Structure 1
């Protein structure tokens, strides 16, 4: 196991690149502050250096709140805003890989072994509208760069309803928005006509995975 000193690279930190992407983003992005001791502990446990985007984000932030809370990217946590650190959230949801972000609809972004021949780790997305895992074929850095740079609009094109910004802003970061009928049903495709309310994220994600298991998806 590498020491904390070996993981922290002040001269090669990726934080400046992340900060530039945040500054140039078309979305409102909140960089959550973190406690230095918690950040150091999270980085050491993660064993990913700050020369990488993942390590720099975990060490430098409590997480990122993107587009008013639609996307929540995990860092070293911020209890006041009710965003768990990257290790705590993985202990709760137990994904097959490293859970790095969630969206307000209960979608999960997990960094794990990819399906390409080179086997490099890529971001996989559990989609609430299909209840299936999708390999996005992007590594963590390329995925986050794309999301901060404007990819959210196309990625979630059919899931945005009139007044969504106010509903998302009112949803705590440890909650997600439950829709009825659900997004994966035929009736749920028209999200404007669905009922919506905030529920604990753990409950929202658990129901989706249980349903996926029952449907064999």
Structure 2
């Protein structure tokens, strides 16, 4: 039973309509991460943590966190005490996916904080349903407004610990067309921080 969740995920990885790289798992890191999160490998999140350092989806556009890998933190490293949410993935533009419980007695769902609107939105999907959607082709529609011609090669050349900073930024009127802005790779942690700071200043966080 412990392998059933990973076998489902592996099948989706193999059939994905875009490239998916399964980063190698570090068994010690994975075990520590599972213990901190109090998860078993029967859950999809637990299976990802136990069996991968993370999943790199669609030329590196989306980085789903697992047990941790060089350049990519483990899920447990993203825990913020008292915040009530667990970051489970980053995208190359500095967006975040977090699993959180919006209300007591309601099952946790995945929320997205994107650089185009700087606000958390509830995707109304549990972790397993969200990951299945990401692996079966939902990225193209989800990120339609944040991509530009030739993005695949540009994104694939960015390191795991980097994201793409755009200027003017995507939340401005001038930055909506990503093909017309200035883009450069910067550290992903720095990019995420820039978006959060902007959200606080604009009062959307």
Name the TM-score class by shorter chain: over 0.9
User: Which residue pairs with 2:115 in the alignment?
Assistant: 128
TM-score normalised by L of structure 1: 0.89
Unaligned ranges ≥5, structure 1: 1-8
CA distance in 2, matches of 1:94, 1:118: 17
| Two-structure CA RMSD over aligned residues (Å) | 1.8
**Secondary structure at the residue paired with 2:185?**
strand
Alignment of 1:35-114 (within 5 A): 35-79=26-70, 82-90=71-79, 96-114=84-102
Of 13, 21, 25, which residue of structure 2 is paired with 1:22?
A: 13
Show CA shifts across 1:69-88 (max 9, x none).
Answer: 10000001112xx1111122
Unaligned ranges ≥5, structure 2: none
CA drift at 1:124? 0.6
CA distance in 2, matches of 1:101, 1:37: 21
CA drift at 1:118? 5.6
**Secondary structure at the residue paired with 2:124?**
coil
Q: Report the number of matched residues.
A: 204
Which structure dedicates a bigger proportion of its chain to helix?
1
**Secondary structure at the residue paired with 2:113?**
strand
